Amino acid sequence: MTIEDRDMDDQDVTLLLREAAGGIEPGAAPYAAVVRGGKRRRARRWAAGAVTVLALTGVAGTFGAGALMDRPEPVAAETAPSPERRHVYTPWVTPLATVRDGANASELRLSVEVWGAPRNAAEIREQKARMVRHGVWRDRESDPVRPGDVWFSVVATRVGDGRRTVVVSGLEQAGGERPGYVAYDLPGDLVSGRVVVGHVSPDVRRITYQWRDGSSDPGLIQVAGLKDRWFALRADAGRRLRAITTVDAAGESKTWPAS
């Protein structure tokens, strides 16, 4: 049998794969980054099938009339050529809500910070330096860093000492199949009870949380720099969620049952 017409047997395939796999030096496991990313994923609670998120936020109520305040309409996103005007180096900041926590006599301001998309390697480098200074790079670095990516974070700022906590962060999802809404559960160590923030696709005009004893329609907020519209809800252990419904601009509704 010549080299040219020799056939490979199973053992040969195994040897070839072993050879190819030997071409990489795996390096040390990035354990800390894995855990950090895992915690962030846990916080995100993507709602693709709704069930997971609904189970998570499943006992909720709306904010009281005075609990969610200060919701100014943000300015529309700019599309200017310079990186400064595209907010590549400083984020757009859109207030979402102020949560007054009577139990802890504290006040927490929730806002969405959006970093514009860098267009090249130089802008990526400078954006990283600015994010490091801004104190968000540790949350940013585990997501891919590529030209064209818009990165956002939901920041909770404690009124009084100004302590900032990034509670949720991620890349804006562009195009493709997307769930009608996404909801995140804020960590319980920040507020008593539960606070949910979420966003709906741009075509959605209304979102309704249907409880067993009523319903709530959180207002939608256009966050500067993002296409999606955002909302906030305060969770309460006394209510059971039945379903979430979204209604788009054409009046079409979609419902995700809680179970």
Partner 1 sequence: MGDRKQALDEEFHGFVMSRWPRLMRTAFLLTGERHAAEDLVQSSLERAYVSWRRVSAAGDPDAYVRRILINAHARRHRRKLKEYLRARDEVQEWDEPERDDRMAQAEDRSMLLRALARLPARQREAVVLRYWEDLTETQAAEAMGCSVGAVKSNTAKGIAKLRAIPGLAAMVTSGGRR
Contact residues: partner 1, CB under 8 A: 3-4, 6-8, 10, 12-24, 26-31, 33-35, 37-42, 142, 144, 176
In angstroms, what is the minimal distance from the CB of 49 to partner 1? 15
Residue number, 121 or 250, with CB nearest to partner 1: 121
In angstroms, what is the minimal distance from the CB of 38 to partner 1? 3
In angstroms, what is the minimal distance from the CB of 163 to partner 1? 25
In angstroms, what is the minimal distance from the CB of 184 to partner 1? 14
Residue number, 42 or 163, with CB nearest to partner 1: 42
In angstroms, what is the minimal distance from the CB of 13 to partner 1? 5
Residue number, 22 or 251, with CB nearest to partner 1: 22
Residue number, 21 or 103, with CB nearest to partner 1: 21
Residue number, 142 or 157, with CB nearest to partner 1: 142
DSSP codes, the chain: --TTTPPP-HHHHHHHHHHHHTT-------HHHHHHHHHHHHHH---TTSHHHHHHS-S--PPPTTTS---PPPPPPP--SSTTTTTSSS-EEEEEEEEEETTTTEEEEEEEEEEPPP-SHHHHHHHHHHHHHHT-HHHHTTS---TT--EEEEEEEETTT--EEEEEEEEPPPSSS--SEEEEE--TTTSSSEEEEEEE-TTEEEEEEEETTEEE-PPPEE-TT-SSEEEEEEE-TT--EEEEEEEETTS-EEEEE--
